[in-house]
């Protein structure tokens, strides 16, 4: 009983808050012992993480169902199995990624050993967001462990059930001297950010991203900021609009629009808009039947605050083509398409992060490009067109974290592409090897012998005429 009481006290919020500094110092001490540098330790921990995912797939999916009403298919494909695939890819390649990397040498260095040594930063902090609460904590954790760091993971307090199960499972499966999961909200994040870290990996909104970066600046800690913004879609007139509608609506309705790379709004000509609306309506019916609310496949808004925010946004929309209904008791908001939207409308002033899809009629692609360039650099840019030169024009005239031509969200599905933003949508990229690289310091190594001093001595003063006449 005493032991149980002790462990309960140690995991209580008050105890954690009062002992964050001590926890970080103890991680630092463990890091200094070199335990996490050992490749076998890293592989062992990654295998334990794999075991965690395999043995608790259902539990994790259930937590996601309770937090966001994610269907098991979405929870598995976009969260649990998604992490598993990244993890297996990492395990298959880690020895190669972690090995010293030979570099090109000039004549003066023929005798030297020049290479890049991949070293862990040390003790790192991962702060996750609520919308993909398994993926956004586990994916960076994979890279942090793979690179040999000690880690603190702080899941979002908004996805309550997932945060709880992550905290329980990570402490059960992983080496507690090196990897800690601390659940909690703003007070815990604030206390954690006051500590000195060797790397901070943050996912969430841009305003908090600035708070994180300011805290990191105190110790010149490097950061990755995975932020959000409004990801635009352009639909060209030459497309098969039935297919386009499927792909956009799928991207928008996944997790009820609560996806960082969700297609935020569509730009197309008025004529395209008028046909596309009907196609989007058809897609909606095919996906969810006559009543979206009774479909098991459609998620809910994470909490009341976000529900009220989206509801308010909805109330500002003038021409709702379909959708628009909601049910507060379930935090349900119907997929809603709004037409003839203007860039000055309220729905265009913030990231929607919910199931509202505005369509803005534009004259042509030049007007669309002009609007994209005028705004903050988005996390994703989606272009639907069969016209290769039009696609190129979009790519070369704009900047964004990523681009996906003729689909949505799929650019995040392969580990060989870096996932991340630029400008206001963030800095740094991860997934696959990019996560390992994110958490590794690339140490420049030159090892020379003490021989050949006569050649090496050329650089020493005095700088005689013989030396300088070249």
Q: Which residues contact ligand NAD (rule: CB under 6 A)?
A: 127-131, 136, 154, 156-158, 185-186, 189-190, 193, 203-205, 208, 211, 226-228, 260, 351, 353, 379, 421, 426
Pairing of strands 231-235, 123-127: unpaired
| Cβ-based nearer residue to ligand NAD, 42 or 431 | 431
**Helix residue spans in 69-205 (DSSP H):** 72-75, 81-98, 135-146, 160-173, 186-193
**Which residue among the candidates 260, 268, 317, 404 is catalytic per the annotation?**
260
**Orientation of helix 81-98 relative to helix 39-55, angle to 10°:** 170
- How far is it, in rounded angstroms, from Cα 366 to Cα 105? 47
- How far is it, in rounded angstroms, from Cα 382 to Cα 363? 18
- Per DSSP, the residues of 421-443 read --GGGEE--BSTHHHHHHTEEEE
| Cβ-based nearer residue to ligand NAD, 148 or 232 | 232
Task: In angstroms, give the least distance from the CB of 93 to ligand NAD.
Answer: 22
Specify whether the CB–CB gap between 86 and 101 falls below 8 A: no
| Cβ-based nearer residue to ligand NAD, 174 or 193 | 193
| Cβ-based nearer residue to ligand NAD, 183 or 283 | 183
Q: Is 226 a catalytic residue?
A: yes
Specify whether the CB–CB gap between 233 and 405 falls below 8 A: no
With CA atoms as reference, report the closest residue to 335 among 232, 253, 264, 276. Answer: 253
Exposure string for 267-289, b = 16+ CB within 10 A, e = fewer: bbbeebbebbbebbbebbeebbe
Task: In angstroms, give the least distance from the CB of 229 to ligand NAD.
Answer: 7
Q: Is 260 a catalytic residue?
A: yes
Task: In angstroms, give the least distance from the CB of 128 to ligand NAD.
Answer: 6
Residue 172 dihedral angles phi and psi, to the nearest 5°: -80, -40
Q: Which residue has the tokens 């009774």?
A: 294
- How far is it, in rounded angstroms, from Cα 252 to Cα 255? 8
**Which residue among the candidates 226, 239, 268, 404 is catalytic per the annotation?**
226
| Cβ-based nearer residue to ligand NAD, 44 or 222 | 222
Task: In angstroms, give the least distance from the CB of 130 to ligand NAD.
Answer: 4
- How far is it, in rounded angstroms, from Cα 228 to Cα 100? 35
Q: Count the residues in the chain.
A: 470
Nearest-10 Cα torsion for 279, 284, 286, 292: -160
Angle at alpha carbon of residue 184, lines to 430 and 172, rounded to 5°: 75
Specify whether the CB–CB gap between 247 and 407 falls below 8 A: yes
Task: In angstroms, give the least distance from the CB of 99 to ligand NAD.
Answer: 29
Specify whether the CB–CB gap between 345 and 319 falls below 8 A: no
State which residue has the least CB distance to ligand NAD.
Answer: 228
Task: In angstroms, give the least distance from the CB of 103 to ligand NAD.
Answer: 31
- Per DSSP, the residues of 196-229 read --SEEEEES-HHHHHHHHHHHHTTT--EEEE---
Q: Which residue has the tokens 């690179």?
A: 147
Task: In angstroms, give the least distance from the CB of 212 to ligand NAD.
Answer: 7
Q: Using DSSP, state whether 357 is helix, strand or coil.
A: strand
Task: In angstroms, give the least distance from the CB of 180 to ligand NAD.
Answer: 15
Catalytic residues: 226, 260
């Amino acid at each position: 009983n005493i032991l149980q009481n002790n462990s309960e006290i140690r995991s209580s919020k008050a105890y954690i808050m009062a002992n964050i500094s001590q926890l970080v110092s103890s991680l630092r001490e463990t890091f200094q012992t070199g335990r996490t540098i050992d490749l076998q330790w890293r592989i062992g921990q990654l295998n334990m993480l794999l075991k965690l995912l395999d043995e608790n797939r259902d539990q994790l999916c259930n937590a996601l169902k309770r937090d966001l009403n994610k269907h098991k298919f979405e929870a598995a494909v976009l969260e649990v199995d998604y992490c598993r695939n990244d993890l297996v890819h990492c395990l298959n390649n880690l020895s190669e990624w972690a090995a010293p990397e030979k570099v090109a040498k000039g004549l003066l260095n023929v005798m030297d050993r020049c290479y890049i040594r991949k070293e862990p930063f040390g003790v790192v902090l991962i702060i996750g967001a609520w919308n993909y609460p398994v993926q956004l904590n586990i994916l960076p954790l994979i890279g942090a462990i793979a690179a040999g760091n000690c880690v603190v993971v702080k899941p979002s307090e908004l996805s309550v059930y997932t945060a709880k199960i992550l905290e329980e499972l990570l402490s059960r499966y992983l080496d507690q001297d090196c990897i800690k999961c601390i659940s909690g909200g703003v007070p815990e994040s604030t206390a954690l950010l006051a500590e000195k870290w060797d790397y901070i990996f943050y996912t969430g909104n841009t305003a908090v991203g600035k708070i994180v970066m300011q805290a990191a600046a105190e110790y010149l800690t490097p950061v990755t900021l995975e932020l959000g913004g409004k990801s635009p879609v352009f639909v060209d007139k030459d497309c098969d609009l039935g297919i386009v509608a499927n792909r956009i609506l799928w991207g928008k309705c996944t997790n009820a629009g609560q996806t960082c790379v969700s297609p935020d709004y569509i730009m197309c000509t008025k004529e395209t808009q008028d046909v596309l609306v009907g196609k989007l309506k058809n897609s909606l019916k095919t996906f969810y039947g006559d009543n979206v609310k009774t479909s098991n496949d459609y998620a809910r808004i994470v909490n009341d605050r976000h529900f009220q925010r989206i509801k308010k946004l909805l109330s500002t929309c003038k021409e709702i083509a379909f959708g628009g209904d909601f049910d507060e008791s379930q935090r349900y908001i119907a997929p809603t398409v709004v037409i003839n939207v203007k860039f000055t409308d309220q729905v265009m002033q913030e990231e929607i992060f919910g199931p509202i899809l505005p369509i803005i009629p534009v004259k042509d692609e030049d007007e669309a490009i002009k609007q994209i360039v005028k705004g903050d650099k988005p996390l994703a840019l989606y272009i639907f067109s069969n016209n290769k030169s039009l696609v190129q024009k979009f790519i070369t005239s704009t900047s964004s974290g990523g681009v996906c031509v003729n689909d949505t969200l799929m650019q995040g599905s392969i580990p060989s592409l870096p996932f991340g933003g630029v400008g206001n949508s963030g800095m740094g990229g991860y997934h696959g090897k990019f996560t390992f690289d994110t958490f590794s310091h690339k140490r420049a190594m030159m090892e020379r012998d003490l021989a050949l001093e006569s050649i090496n001595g050329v650089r020493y003063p005095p700088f005689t005429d013989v030396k300088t006449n070249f």
